[in-house]
Chains A and B, each alone.
Chain A
Amino acid sequence: MLIQILGMGCAKCQKLEERTRKAAEELKLDCQVEKVKDLQQIMAFGVMVTPALVVDGIVKMAGRVPMIEEIKKLLAK
């Protein structure tokens, strides 16, 4: 499972990364979590409002920072 967090460095994106890593830990997922900061790459996902959460190439959420519980649900799907 490849989890990507799209964001160019503002506080919201960092928060999303922290919470996502925690969520993945708590779920004991076998996954790789990476932060995508490059503008071109972010836009290639069709995302216009960062931060965004991408799981295995699919954008699961964009534009807000959900609580850890909600992230867990998104990762589990």
Chain B
Amino acid sequence: MFKWMQQLADWLVYSLLNFSKTSRVASAIDFFVFDTVKIFILLTVIVYGITLIRGFFPPERTRRLLAAKKGNRLIGHLLAALLGIVTPFCSCSAVPLFIGFVEAGIPLGVTFTYLVAAPMVNEVALGLLFGLFGWKIALIYVLSGEAIAIISGLLIGRLKMERFIESIAMTTKVGAAAEGERLSWGQRLREAWVFTRDLLKSIWLYVVGGIAVGALMHGWIPTGALAKVAGRGNPFAVLIAVAIGIPLYSNAAGVIPLVSELTRAGVAMGTALAFMMAVTGLSLPEMILLRRVLKPKLLAVFIAIVGMGIVFTGYLFNLIIF
């Protein structure tokens, strides 16, 4: 599937720019071009595909779908986790979303499943993981992200912590949203493209920068340099990685290229993925905002359960991958 891209990169570096085939700089640039082109093509395809699907699930519809499943708990969680994949997430949306869901009568647990899945599993993360690590890792990431979201939601639901929701969440009224106009397929395809194009415009620098930093690190930090500290040998690696990752926030575009280099330097894949989940799934800004609608105990439980889920996943992968 990627052979033609390799040929393109080879042609560019060796024929057009006339580098010697044995030069190390040349092979680094060749690799950089190949990787970059491959990643952007994959990213574009995946982001476009998911954005198209998202067009069918605006927030109001998501809310209605989840509210309708009130009676049947597991399906509600499954649905919330799936909808979380296709919806974009800005940490400042966490609060209005939470209130909107609660007001619609969506169970607390299901709301949390959605809150965990949405920022963690998204099209940019998917595209980049696919591009850098292949479809298997991308799939594993999605499945584990969904599992963490569903289990966290189920647990929180079981704990019956409804009384720890701040009253403001119960009293704020969600106005009636204007129903979106029915879009034709032509409009959908166009709008999805506009969104994809704008998204790529806003992150391309991060991605290229990340790959470049990676290429540089590749030159200075020998493969396996971090293996002793954060490789499979160190039992605390996952815990430390997650502890560092939780307060940090970055979008997927910023952290994944870094993760790619970390693994090349010897960090175990499970540890790297756990780090990535911790960075994108939980963040200080989001926690500060959520404090407005969640009493401290509930917020703490949320962070703890999701955090533990991520740590567990990290250890699990270190055991089973490769």
CB distance A39 to B178 under 8 Å? Answer: no
Which of B59, B194, B198, B285 is A49 in contact with, Cβ under 8 Å? B59
Identify which of B7-15, B29-37, B39-47, B95-103 touches chain A.
B95-103
Complex interface bits, A53-75 against B, C-beta within 8 A gives 1, otherwise 0: 00000110011111100100000
What is the number of residues of chain A that contact chain B, defined by CB distance less than 8 Å?
27
Minimal beta-carbon separation of A57 from chain B (angstroms): 10
Known: A8-B289, A39-B168, A40-B172. A48 touches B195 (CB 8 A): no
Complex contacts, B71 vs chain A, CB 8 Å: none
Q: How large is the interface on B (under 10, 10 to 19, 20 to 34, 35 or more residues)?
A: 20 to 34
Tell me how many residue pairs across A and B have CB atoms closer than 8 Å.
80
The binding surface of chain B is classed by DSSP as helix
Complex contacts, B172 vs chain A, CB 8 Å: 39-40, 43
**A51, B91: Cα distance in complex, Å:** 11
Q: Judge if A10 is at the interface, Cβ distance under 8 Å.
A: yes
Known: A10-B90, A63-B88, A67-B198. A49 touches B96 (CB 8 A): yes
The binding surface of chain A is classed by DSSP as loop
CB distance A39 to B95 under 8 Å? Answer: yes
Which of chain B's residues has its CB closest to A47's CB? B96
Instruction: Mark B residues whose CB is within 8 Å of A.
Output: 59-60, 63, 87-88, 90-93, 95-97, 99-100, 168, 172-178, 194-195, 198, 285, 289, 292
The 9 closest A-B CB pairs, nearest first, are A46-B177, A46-B175, A10-B92, A48-B100, A48-B59, A44-B175, A8-B92, A49-B93, A48-B96
